[in-house]
Amino acid sequence: MIASTNEPFWQASVIGNALLLRGIGSERSLAVTASDIAGDTRTIRASDPNGKVELQVIAAPCQDTMAGAKFPLSAVLAIDGGAPVNGCARPASMPPPGEPK
């Protein structure tokens, strides 16, 4: 699963039991502590010594607010107790919108 947000620019990738969080000038690898599904929403919680991240992935289409790219999933990302940021998501096996399949 790969989720991304705009302003602030973040990318969260869930690979196995790790959540890799990338931002401008920073990168963190956090251990996934919980992954739950309720209705059409998957909530992934992860932590490291510096804090916690919560990623919600919703089964609803999403359009990137800057580039206009279309994604199959919506996302909400909260970092270290900060305000949630809306974004878009796609399965890791799917190429980014606009790239060849």
- Does residue 97 belong to any structural domain of this protein? no
Residue 99 has a pLDDT of 62
Q: How many residues are present in the chain?
A: 101
- Does residue 46 belong to any structural domain of this protein? yes
- Does residue 94 belong to any structural domain of this protein? no
- Does residue 62 belong to any structural domain of this protein? yes
CA 69 to chain CA mean position, Å: 16
Report phi then psi at 100, rounded to 5.
-60, 145
| Domain housing 52 | 2-89
Rounded-to-integer distance, Cα 33 and Cα 19, Å: 10
Cα 91–78–99 angle (5° rounding)?
30
- Does residue 20 belong to any structural domain of this protein? yes
Q: Residues of the chain whose pLDDT is less than 70?
A: 98-101
- Does residue 96 belong to any structural domain of this protein? no
- Does residue 98 belong to any structural domain of this protein? no
Residue 7 has a pLDDT of 85
pLDDT tens per residue, range 68-81:
899 999 999 999 99
Rounded-to-integer distance, Cα 29 and Cα 12, Å: 10
- Does residue 19 belong to any structural domain of this protein? yes
Give how many domains the chain has, as a whole number.
1
